[in-house]
Structure 1
Amino acid sequence: MKVFFRNIHLYLSLVSGLIIAVVCFTGGVLVFEKELEQAWHPERYYVTPAAAPRLPLAQLTEAVRAYKPKAAIASVKVYADPARTVEISLAGAPSGEKKSEGKGEGAREGRAEARPEGAGRTAEGRQGEQGGENGRGEKGEGKGEKGGKGGQGGGEGGRGPVVFVNPYTAAVTGELNYRETFFFTMMALHRGMVGGPIGKLVVGISTVMFLFIIGTGIVLWWPASRKAVKQRLQVKWSGGWKRLNHDLHIVLGFYSALLLFVFGFTGLAWSFEWFNKGIYAVTNSPMERPEPPVSVVPASLATVAASEAVAPEAAPAAEGSATAAPAAGLSADAVLAQARTLAPQAVYYTLQLPKDATSSIRVATLRPDAVYENATDEVYLDQYSGSVLKSQTYEQRNLGQRVRGLFKPVHTGSIFGWPSKIVSLVVCLLGVTFPITGTIMWLNRLKKAKKKQRKLAAAA
């Protein structure tokens, strides 16, 4: 029976080994993406707190508009930490960027990562909630299913960069366009080998093979007797190189098998539409999220809007104004003040500005005791009166959303902070070695079989 499992283990490994090694390597690089990004560009993320109070958001957004005149502001992220910069996400393609640029799968995923919060309508497109520390956001985790491009790529027209602003001086401290970073390349390799939809499918199929490889590997590892247990649990460092290679594959493979299986299983959520649908089906949860509530447009503004609809040439709209709050609506500072009243202990506040006259303002906040760094609460405010139209805590999300939301922190190893990240990095690096040590074992076995055949032929 073990011969059968050995053949499955061998042939699946030969087919998918190289891809698995690349995926494990890039995954290891991405484990500490946030920390490395902040270490390489500390000026983007941190400032020296000043004795003077923070400047109003209106002044900070004006500084961004001066820095990027043609860009429209989509959302503003403010940290409670006085040493953090304010992150302002821009909507629309950066100046000079072609609309058709990067229409491959990797580019769509990059824009999905950098998209403003809440831009998608599906549970998958908005599962991550409120952008990550590196400005990517956590949008588009999975395909977005019925939401189509809203969940997966979310921005065929392109999404602008994140601009970092000193909250005390209004100086722009940096800009991040995720698609231009080293980590975007690693992410593109990790998810689809830079091969577009076909590459993504290849990675997904290879991941499924990897799960079978791990399962058959456990079967092959299982000792035939109790005496062999100790041998299978310890690396014999004093043995020859063949024995050492064997132990590195067998022993370390056993210790890392469970985590590699978890990483591979959760990774399927980024490869297959049916897998995401299955999460919601198993948890008996609706995949589509309700449409956001709408603001009540004052009668005076409704009259103006109606007159503009009749004679639009009389009041041309400014470029990018579709994503900015109407002049008669609440200011960003008023929204932030209300958000701080509703969640005074929040780690950060993300304000998604309304895209038209009837949209509401979405505010996402992260509690200090949150399950993971994107397990946010959200509230929708009327953009004119500031009244709360709808609110939802993380615990009030349906079971499918909460389960799907855990996939990313589990997959990246960030679920328990630094300890789990270190373990994840080690396991990913081990995952790179297993195709190598396994191939060496196979070649040694072939060489031994040929040598035995020669001996038998000579004896005959």
Structure 2
Amino acid sequence: MKTRRVVFNFHLYLGLAAGLFLVMSGLTGSMIVFRDEIEALIYPELMEVAVRDERVPVQMVLNAVKQAYPRDKLLSVRMPRTPQQTYLLKMNDAHGLFVYADPYSGELLGAHRQEDTLIGWIALLHTELLIGERGKNILGVSALLLICMSITGFVLWWPPNGIKNISRGFKISWAAPWKKLIFDMHRALGIYALLFLVIIAFTGVSLVFNKTVAEFTNFVTASPPRPAPPLSDTSGVAGATLSLDEFLNRADHILPAPTTWINFPQTPQAPLVVRKKMPEESHPNGRSFIYFDQYTSEVLLIENASQAPSGTRIFNTFYPIHIGIIGGLPTRILQVVAGVSPLVLFATGYIMWRNRRKTKSIKNTSIKWARNSASRHDK
């Protein structure tokens, strides 16, 4: 019983320490599961256009963006994934400007910063608490604490007298007094949500501490690490001789699959990277990359996710699992429900803790009163 008390206290104080962060992370995560659909409803003029016969060259869109935003540098371009979807161009400025363009006319449709939109603000709150790298680390540690809380919660849920009474842990006595009802809700919801929360927490940790988790995954699977990104040759070359469309055509011949993103070099040594999604990949953006020398257009490295080592392939599934897309609509709905569960668990746990403190305070007051009373009688 002493061990159980230690586990209980550990579970309690972990919940008090990380509870509010986990509630916020769960609720905001639930809100952005359907982010693309929500943004298409709120900003249809930016997200979708009428389908026409032929798209303009991507280079034409880049030229329009450079002319409209001469002081900003282009960071990356999201390619349209449906005939209706627009280009999303991310600018490397202090405000994270998103620019949208019509792929059929090259017209710039509008721009906004991510934090200026409600769903974008929620996404930043979910991923970095609006404070950048520090916020990411706080959320990563909170996710680790959630894994610890799940383990200690399972230990406390398991009946002390054995498996014969295990069915009680799945039931909620709705007609019971409110204190028993709160306890039943915390216990039952905790066990029902346990597996989902552990998976969400672990995959969340993999997104924050990706290098460490990737190394761990490679170690467990005895896999080699991903190759380091190659560098462009800066020895006296003036600039690339190919247009962006020619880069994309070359990339399509190398890996015949949809291009999802183009990442532009931000330093003199950086390569131009074309990102692709192979048919069998579960990652929405794909994890296949072609690295080009930004000056000579030479192919520096090809990463085909279909042929990656097992450790890399496993690691590449963590993000799609985290956002709930692997099983389609049912798992996305489950992800929304699982994201709400930390709120209920924190609320019921807090109520039980407050009630215990109140009961303990009344008991201590009664003992103190009894001792004082006995002392007066002795006199």
Query: Same fold per TM (> 0.5)?
Result: yes
1:409 aligns with 2:346: no
1:229 aligns with 2:152: no
After superposition, the Cα gap between the structure-2 partners of 1:356 and 1:253, relative to the gap in structure 1 and judged at 3 Å, is closer
Tell me by how many angstroms 1:438 deviates.
0.9
Which one of 331, 338, 360 corresponds to residue 243 of structure 2?
A: 331
Q: Is the 8 A contact 2:154 2:191 kept in 1?
A: yes
The alignment partner of 1:169 has SS state of: coil
The alignment partner of 2:205 has SS state of: helix
The alignment partner of 2:79 has SS state of: strand
Q: Which residue of 1 aligns with 2:199?
A: 262
Distance in 1 between residues matched to 2:243 and 2:86, nearest whole Å: 20
| Unmatched 5+ stretches in structure 1 | 94-157, 306-325
1:241 aligns with 2:178: yes
Q: Residues 342-362 of structure 1: CA distance to partner in whole angstroms, max 9, x if unpaired?
A: 455x34343445668887543
| Unmatched 5+ stretches in structure 2 | 375-379
Which one of 79, 104, 122 corresponds to residue 186 of structure 1?
A: 122
Which one of 14, 23, 26 corresponds to residue 24 of structure 1?
A: 26
What amino acid does structure 2 have at the position aligned with 1:289? P
TM-score by length of 1: 0.67
Which one of 5, 8, 11 corresponds to residue 9 of structure 1?
A: 11
1:211 aligns with 2:123: no
Moved more, 435-444 or 354-363: 354-363
Distance in 1 between residues matched to 2:227 and 2:32, nearest whole Å: 29
After superposition, the Cα gap between the structure-2 partners of 1:450 and 1:366, relative to the gap in structure 1 and judged at 3 Å, is same
Distance in 2 between residues matched to 1:369 and 1:81, nearest whole Å: 18
Tell me by how many angstroms 1:256 deviates.
0.4
Tell me by how many angstroms 1:419 deviates.
1.9
The alignment partner of 1:229 has SS state of: helix
Q: Is the 8 A contact 2:39 2:47 kept in 1?
A: no
Give 1 or 2: higher helix fraction.
2
Moved more, 384-393 or 208-217: 384-393
The alignment partner of 1:79 has SS state of: coil
After superposition, the Cα gap between the structure-2 partners of 1:160 and 1:450, relative to the gap in structure 1 and judged at 3 Å, is closer
Which one of 248, 259, 272 corresponds to residue 348 of structure 1?
A: 259
Tell me by how many angstroms 1:33 deviates.
2.7
After superposition, the Cα gap between the structure-2 partners of 1:202 and 1:380, relative to the gap in structure 1 and judged at 3 Å, is closer
After superposition, the Cα gap between the structure-2 partners of 1:338 and 1:80, relative to the gap in structure 1 and judged at 3 Å, is farther
Distance in 2 between residues matched to 1:78 and 1:189, nearest whole Å: 25
Tell me by how many angstroms 1:218 deviates.
1.0
% identity of equivalent residues: 30
Q: Residues 383-438 of structure 1: CA distance to partner in whole angstroms, max 9, x if unpaired?
A: 68866554221033344443433332222323333222211111110111111101
Aligned residue runs from structure 1 range 131-142, under 5 A: none
What amino acid does structure 1 have at the position aligned with 2:329? W
Aligned Cα root-mean-square deviation (Å): 3.6
Q: Which residue of 1 aligns with 2:230?
A: 292
The alignment partner of 2:290 has SS state of: strand
Distance in 2 between residues matched to 1:379 and 1:25, nearest whole Å: 36
Q: Is the 8 A contact 2:260 2:277 kept in 1?
A: yes
After superposition, the Cα gap between the structure-2 partners of 1:342 and 1:195, relative to the gap in structure 1 and judged at 3 Å, is closer
Which one of 238, 246, 251 corresponds to residue 188 of structure 2?
A: 251
Distance in 2 between residues matched to 1:38 and 1:433, nearest whole Å: 30
What amino acid does structure 2 have at the position aligned with 1:256? A
Tell me by how many angstroms 1:269 deviates.
3.4
Q: Which residue of 1 aligns with 2:377?
A: none
Tell me by how many angstroms 1:291 deviates.
3.8
Aligned residue runs from structure 1 range 39-54, under 5 A: 39-50=41-52, 52-54=53-55
Q: Residues 110-151 of structure 1: CA distance to partner in whole angstroms, max 9, x if unpaired?
A: xxxxxxxxxxxxxxxxxxxxxxxxxxxxxxxxxxxxxxxxxx
The alignment partner of 1:362 has SS state of: strand
Distance in 1 between residues matched to 2:83 and 2:136, nearest whole Å: 41
Tell me by how many angstroms 1:178 deviates.
2.5
Distance in 2 between residues matched to 1:291 and 1:271, nearest whole Å: 20
After superposition, the Cα gap between the structure-2 partners of 1:75 and 1:7, relative to the gap in structure 1 and judged at 3 Å, is closer
Q: Is the 8 A contact 1:293 1:390 kept in 2?
A: no
Tell me by how many angstroms 1:334 deviates.
2.3
The alignment partner of 1:60 has SS state of: helix
TM-score by length of 2: 0.80
After superposition, the Cα gap between the structure-2 partners of 1:174 and 1:418, relative to the gap in structure 1 and judged at 3 Å, is farther
The alignment partner of 1:215 has SS state of: helix
After superposition, the Cα gap between the structure-2 partners of 1:177 and 1:244, relative to the gap in structure 1 and judged at 3 Å, is same
How many residue pairs get aligned? The number is 367
Which one of 372, 389, 394 corresponds to residue 283 of structure 2?
A: 372
Tell me by how many angstroms 1:160 deviates.
5.1
Distance in 2 between residues matched to 1:58 and 1:257, nearest whole Å: 49
The alignment partner of 2:316 has SS state of: helix
Distance in 2 between residues matched to 1:11 and 1:65, nearest whole Å: 53
Q: Is the 8 A contact 1:53 1:168 kept in 2?
A: yes
Q: Is the 8 A contact 1:28 1:429 kept in 2?
A: yes
Tell me by how many angstroms 1:199 deviates.
5.1
Aligned residue runs from structure 1 range 91-170, under 5 A: 91=92, 93=93, 158=94, 161-170=97-106
Distance in 2 between residues matched to 1:228 and 1:262, nearest whole Å: 27
The alignment partner of 1:379 has SS state of: strand
Q: Is the 8 A contact 2:262 2:274 kept in 1?
A: yes
The alignment partner of 1:175 has SS state of: strand
Q: Is the 8 A contact 1:349 1:365 kept in 2?
A: yes
The alignment partner of 1:414 has SS state of: coil
Q: Is the 8 A contact 1:74 1:89 kept in 2?
A: yes
After superposition, the Cα gap between the structure-2 partners of 1:395 and 1:255, relative to the gap in structure 1 and judged at 3 Å, is same
Distance in 2 between residues matched to 1:179 and 1:376, nearest whole Å: 27
After superposition, the Cα gap between the structure-2 partners of 1:426 and 1:241, relative to the gap in structure 1 and judged at 3 Å, is same
Q: Which residue of 2 aligns with 1:83?
A: 84
The alignment partner of 2:85 has SS state of: coil
Q: Residues 49-78 of structure 1: CA distance to partner in whole angstroms, max 9, x if unpaired?
A: 02x322222332232233223334444443
Q: Which residue of 1 aligns with 2:65?
A: 64
Moved more, 449-458 or 224-233: 449-458
